[in-house]
A and B are shown apart, each in its own frame.
Chain A
Amino acid sequence: MSTHSSGDSPVKAPGLPADQVWAEAAQALGYAGAGAFNMAALVVDRHVAAGRGEHVAFRFIGESGERREITYRQLAAESDRFGNALKALGVAKGDSVFLLCGRRCELYVAVLGALKIGAVVAPLFPAFGPEPVRNRVAQAGGKVLVTTRSAYPRKAQPIRAELPTLQHVVLIDDLDAGPLAETLDWAALMAAASTAPALVPTTADDPALLHFTSGTTGTPKGALHVHGALLMHDATARRALDLRPGDVFWCTADPGWVTGMSYGILAPLSVGVTSLIDEAEFDALRWVSLLENEGVQVWYTAPTALRMLMKAGPGLFAGRRFPALRFIASVGEPLNAEAVIWGRQTFGLSIRDTWWQTETGGIMITNAAAEAPKPGAMGRPVPGVAAHVVRRVAGEPPEVIETPDTVGELALETGWPSMFRAYLGQPERYRQCFAGNLYLSGDLVRRDADGDYWFVGRSDDVIKSAGHLIGPFEVERVLMAHPGVAEAGVIGKPDPVAGETIKAFVMLKRDVAPSEALRAELLAHARKRLGPAVAPREIAFAETLPHTRSGKIMRRLLKARELGLPEGDNSALE
């Protein structure tokens, strides 16, 4: 393999050597580089000890507009209580605690309380149906699930009998409907819990977070992150998002996805800002009002949301001013040039793209605050991170591409603090992500002569809908579980708002006739099991599905046909 010294590369070397960047990050957190390290203690208790306990950590805006604030001191105390409640239930260091809940205060308390006692926090997206929940809890052997009274009967109760490891379900009573059998009540649990410090000694290398992500084939992968990832969260919050202590910050991502955890909870708390949390679903008017009225200074959002705001038209912004707003960044999928230009016209600010993945745990590539971004480009690696464009060569180390504007796979030199440490229970799949000292991202990019990276596409069949990765196999498997379906192939269909939406091609069993009623039945079947975020939006009946000689469905060909594109090299077809 060729060497990767950044001096040989045409990429502008980051201003500081990686060691120095991470040493500075450790110093900022008061960490000597060895010994105790607990991300929850560092992001809340540290501020209380430093006399900043009365600062507001989160400002929740309820669905009807009601406001609720929680200070760092209250968050420290409540998370101790929840940590103690978990201990009383027999939860020990290393056990996994799953969360399936909207953006309410209890969710944030639960994350921090579980982290304090060394449990591994596994957040789930609230729009998941029971099948994604079952699959993920089963893979991790989840011991506790924290969810809501309204979600439990639909999303967890139907699959609970299939989850023998799941010892406790804690319900937040969002309906005021009273207790349910075989569950524990959040309020009662908290009232009975000790208020003593809950901290269990952990180090920077102990597992802390489990985020599930999707591949083309097989089950979703549980990417495991360690407490030390906080070094990355803190450093990138300051450098890539320009977060400063005392800011009002709004990360619109749900903590069920990695962005909502890394930059919706941990990074902003670490810096000591006040985070705005909107408990409601996306609503254009509401969002613009929140930006204006809550004095948001830094806003981290997603292209899908930006496109929905653009679609609402300029009338939405007429007469509004955003004097507090200083910095806007975006994540989840490439930010199109039109959105960057719209941002300049609407807010007088350039919206900055950030590129990273569940596996990287933190922002890797961005348009730095100091420079005007090129509309449509991802930007450059953050300090401490070294990136390359590579070409995989069968049986050999990947070839590093130095020629500008040549498409290849984005690869990152290993060693940044928030790099994932395992795919839970799938060591072979983890190993396949690396070649020598490079992490291979699976994203295709090109790098221009200035050193700016541009996103080109995925190197696999993973679907990106509204910024979230969806594995086609997870959807196909559920469709194929329907008695009328012989086989299914699932693709991402380009969509002006969501980037891609999920379309399924379904081949029926020989004795089953296609009909509108069956199409509705299949849609209901999929939505009920997968939830609306993962289920197909469109189902088409197909006479046959294309296969490779080895029997795999050729999703790429389905997609080419859908788009009316040339079908390319079909030599591997049956």
Chain B
Amino acid sequence: MDQEQLRTALLAIIKTLAPETDTAQIVGSLPLRKQIDLDSMDWLNVLAAIHEGLGVDIPETDYGHLATLDSLVAYLAGRLAKG
């Protein structure tokens, strides 16, 4: 899965959990949770959906890499590349 497909998959997850989100408005380089209304429980559900949908289990110690959509995509691409 390339980065563009990953981005599309992530936006689909966000759209499912927070369907009010206008995903076209999300700026990839800015903190995600400043742009859309996701609380801590939503965020846990996003991570659970990533685990289920993409097969990547993100340990809590890596949460620091996930602040923006760009960094999240890059992180997942790196994890998937390692297998």
Task: For B38, give the chain A residue with the smallest CB separation.
Answer: A532
Q: Is the CB of A281 within 8 A of B43?
A: yes
Docked complex Cα distance between A315 and B19 (Å): 34
Q: How large is the interface on B (under 10, 10 to 19, 20 to 34, 35 or more residues)?
A: 20 to 34
Q: Is the CB of A533 within 8 A of B60?
A: no
Q: Is the CB of B16 within 8 A of A520?
A: yes
Query: Chain B binding site: helix, strand, loop or mixed by DSSP?
Result: helix
Chain A residues with CB under 8 A of B55: none
Q: Is the CB of B34 within 8 A of A150?
A: yes
Task: Please choose the segment from A269-277, A506-514, A522-530 that sits at the chain B interface, where 4 or more of its residues have CB less than 8 A away.
Answer: A522-530
B30 to chain A, nearest CB (A): 10
Contacts known (A63-B31, A283-B64, A313-B60); A466 close to B41, Cβ less than 8 A: yes
Residues of chain A in range 296-331 having any CB-CB distance to chain B below 8 Å: 304, 308, 312-313, 315-316
- Does A497 reach chain B (CB closer than 8 Å)? yes
- Does A67 reach chain B (CB closer than 8 Å)? no
Task: For A525, give the chain B residue with the smallest CB separation.
Answer: B20
A278 to chain B, nearest CB (A): 13
Chain A residues with CB under 8 A of B16: 520
A215 to chain B, nearest CB (A): 23
From the candidates B19, B34, B42, B60, name the one contacting A284 in the complex (CB within 8 A): B60
B54 to chain A, nearest CB (A): 20
Residues of chain B in range 35-53 having any CB-CB distance to chain A below 8 Å: 37-45
A320 to chain B, nearest CB (A): 12
Chain A residues with CB under 8 A of B40: 281-282, 304, 308, 466
Docked complex Cα distance between A284 and B62 (Å): 10
Q: Is the CB of A532 within 8 A of B60?
A: no
Chain B residues with CB under 8 A of A525: 20
Docked complex Cα distance between A566 and B66 (Å): 44
Q: Is the CB of B19 within 8 A of A285?
A: no
Q: Interface residue count for A (Cβ, 8 Å)?
A: 33
Chain B residues with CB under 8 A of A501: 41
Q: Is the CB of B63 within 8 A of A284?
A: yes
Task: For A318, give the chain B residue with the smallest CB separation.
Answer: B61
Q: Is the CB of A497 within 8 A of B41?
A: yes
B62 to chain A, nearest CB (A): 8
Task: For A502, give the chain B residue with the smallest CB separation.
Answer: B41
B14 to chain A, nearest CB (A): 12
Q: Is the CB of B44 within 8 A of A497?
A: yes
Contacts known (A523-B19, A532-B42); A312 close to B60, Cβ less than 8 A: yes
Q: Is the CB of B19 within 8 A of A127?
A: no
- Does B13 reach chain A (CB closer than 8 Å)? no
Chain B residues with CB under 8 A of A527: 18-20, 37
- Does B59 reach chain A (CB closer than 8 Å)? yes
A322 to chain B, nearest CB (A): 17
The 30 listed contacts between A and B (C-beta, < 8 Å) are A127-B39, A129-B37, A154-B37, A281-B33, A281-B43, A282-B40, A284-B60, A285-B60, A285-B61, A308-B44, A312-B59, A312-B60, A312-B61, A315-B61, A316-B61, A465-B41, A497-B41, A501-B41, A520-B19, A521-B19, A525-B20, A527-B18, A527-B19, A527-B20, A528-B20, A531-B37, A532-B41, A532-B42, A533-B39, A537-B41
B residues whose Cβ falls under 8 Å from a Cβ of A:
16, 18-20, 31, 33-34, 37-45, 59-61, 63-64, 67
What are the 4 closest A-B residue pairs judged by CB atoms, nearest first?
A: A312-B60, A524-B20, A524-B19, A284-B60
A residues whose Cβ falls under 8 Å from a Cβ of B:
63, 127, 129, 150, 154, 281-286, 304, 308, 312-313, 315-316, 465-466, 497-498, 501, 520-521, 523-525, 527-528, 531-533, 537
